[in-house]
Amino acid sequence: MKTAFVDGRVFIGDGRVLEHATVLVENDKIVSIRETDSGLDKDTRKIPIKDAVLFPGFIDCHVHLVMDASPDPIRTISGESDAITTIKGVKHALKTLAGGITTVRDLGGKQGIDLALKQAIASGLIKGPRVLASGCPICMTGGHGWPLGREADGPDDVRRAAREQIKAGADIIKLMATGGVLTSSVEPGSSQLTYEEMKAGIEEAHKAGRKTATHAMGSKGIMDALRAGIDSIEHGIYLTDEIISLMIENKVFYIPTIAAMYHIGKMGVAGGIPEWAVKKNTIVTPHHTESVKKAHQAGVAIAMGTDAGTPFNYHGKNLMEIPLLVRRGLTPMEALMAATGVASRVLGMENQIGTIEQGKIADIVLVRHNPLDDIDILNEPDAIIEVMKSGQFIKDES
């Protein structure tokens, strides 16, 4: 079956926008991008782009499909059965895909459920975005995220923990460099896993051809992770000029996850979020705002990640991160590329997804009107007109 998106604006994902283009899809691949719809086979399904914009499938580089965006999601997930968590994960995956996100990087599950969701989606058993999963985050004993993590102490134990995640099928190894907001017993700025511990885990990941990511808020923990060879910094609250320079030198990606802090600040204690989490969030937010602006101005590669599943940070509403990036200084073009072309590089999948180009996987999203003119369109409930993943419209899949 061939499908053609006909005669309209096409956002390529690499900085180019074609004003009057037709994109032809056959099976699961993009086979051509042309200026006219003439010469198409009679049996080709034609979808007029009109005043909408055709985008590559959006990519969220930081989600937690097993977390339900309740006021205290780690407490919630700790108190429910694995079966309930799995059922929630199935629901969250479908909502994410319907929201225009065709690929996610899941950076922390529970009892291998994220890996099972990945397999179920890949096999066609359930609907959802393409998933690259980390398995259990690796943290120190009692460290940030410990209820979901694999606690490890010392380089040898971290090395073993990384090998365990790889054995289980992890695509990424996630290491917890610092404390965070949503674990009650830790401080966001405090260092946790040491340089030596992270170096051991990163070495194991890279030996196996896996990328690495780190939850890193405080400056020392971020610097330790960078010196150890990390591939991406998640959150990055307290960035310094030295850190930013090293990120650029080492080509390390920055995933700020603005939405996570935004929702905690917006809903607060009145929304049921624990007071200790709200207090920590209030302290770190101004520093985070400044860090994102400084990193952008310096030329750090910024990619979209939402931390979906954290309080009131709902699966399926992921695209609201893009307007938030614009509010931190990115242009609409840069913010949209952060969720497409740049994000594909974070995953190491730039030859397959992230841009609308001949030969790439047909992940395509048709967005109502033009976010380049009004980025807040992405916050509208009817912003997404059509979602295609691997050449199949999600509403057409059985």
39, two tokens: 């010469």
DSSP codes joined into one string, 225-240? HHHHT-SEEEE--S--
Q: What is the mean pLDDT of residues 109-132?
A: 97
Same domain (yes/no): 273, 197: yes
pLDDT at 397 over 70: no
As a whole number of angstroms, the distance between CA 66 and CA 85 comes to: 6
| 79 Cβ neighbours under 8 A, 6+ residues apart | none
pLDDT at 274 over 50: yes
The total number of structural domains that make up the chain: 2
Same domain (yes/no): 227, 264: yes
As a whole number of angstroms, the distance between CA 371 and CA 383 comes to: 9
Kindly report, residue by residue over 190-229, the tens digit of the pLDDT: 999 999 999 999 999 999 999 999 999 999 999 999 999 9
Among the candidates 332, 347, 362, a domain finishes at: 347
**pLDDT value at residue 398:** 43
Own/partner long-range contacts of 209-212 (Cβ < 8 Å, ≥24 apart): 210/166, 210/170, 210/171, 210/172, 210/173, 211/171, 211/172, 211/173, 211/346, 211/347, 211/348, 212/172, 212/173, 212/174, 212/175
Strand partners, 235: 216
As a whole number of angstroms, the distance between CA 289 and CA 287 comes to: 5
Among the candidates 347, 370, 385, a domain finishes at: 347
Residue 120: C-alpha distances to residues 106, 128, 219, 361 (Å): 14, 9, 38, 19
Same domain (yes/no): 240, 121: yes
On whether residue 160 sits in a domain, the answer given is: yes
As a whole number of angstroms, the distance between CA 101 and CA 318 comes to: 8
Cα torsion at 306, 54, 28, 96 (round to 10°)? 30
Kindly report, residue by residue over 222-268, the tens digit of the pLDDT: 999 999 999 999 999 999 999 999 999 999 999 999 999 999 999 99
Q: What is the CATH number of the domain that holds 243?
A: 3.20.20.140
Choose among 1, 23, 28: nearest CA to 10. Answer: 23
Q: Is 35 exposed, middle or buried (0-12, 13-18, 19+ CB in 10 A)?
A: exposed
Q: What is the mean pLDDT of residues 78-94?
A: 97
Same domain (yes/no): 249, 289: yes
pLDDT at 181 over 90: yes
Strand partners, 60: 104
Q: What is the CATH number of the domain that holds 37?
A: 2.30.40.10
Same domain (yes/no): 87, 197: yes
On whether residue 162 sits in a domain, the answer given is: yes
On whether residue 388 sits in a domain, the answer given is: yes
Same domain (yes/no): 250, 361: no
Residue 18: C-alpha distances to residues 35, 38, 152, 192 (Å): 9, 17, 50, 47
Sign of CA dihedral 181, 185, 188, 194: negative
* Residue 152 and residue 140 in contact, taking contact as beta carbons nearer than 8 Å: yes
Same domain (yes/no): 330, 360: no
On whether residue 76 sits in a domain, the answer given is: yes
29-43, 105-119, 268-282, 342-356, range with the lowest pLDDT: 29-43
276, two tokens: 């200790």
Same domain (yes/no): 200, 304: yes
pLDDT averaged over the chain?
A: 96
HSE of 335 in the Cβ direction (CA atoms, 13 Å)?
27
Same domain (yes/no): 182, 36: no
Choose among 350, 372, 371, 369: nearest CA to 361. Answer: 350
Among the candidates 327, 347, 367, a domain finishes at: 347
Same domain (yes/no): 37, 108: no
On whether residue 137 sits in a domain, the answer given is: yes
pLDDT at 99 over 50: yes
Strand partners, 9: 53
Same domain (yes/no): 330, 358: no
Kindly report, residue by residue over 300-357, the tens digit of the pLDDT: 999 999 999 999 999 999 999 999 999 999 999 999 999 999 999 999 999 999 999 9
On whether residue 251 sits in a domain, the answer given is: yes
As a whole number of angstroms, the distance between CA 73 and CA 284 comes to: 20
**pLDDT value at residue 39:** 75
On whether residue 274 sits in a domain, the answer given is: yes
Q: Which domain holds residue 79?
A: 58-347
On whether residue 398 sits in a domain, the answer given is: no
Same domain (yes/no): 14, 143: no
**pLDDT value at residue 396:** 63
| Proportion of the chain above pLDDT 70, given as a percent | 99
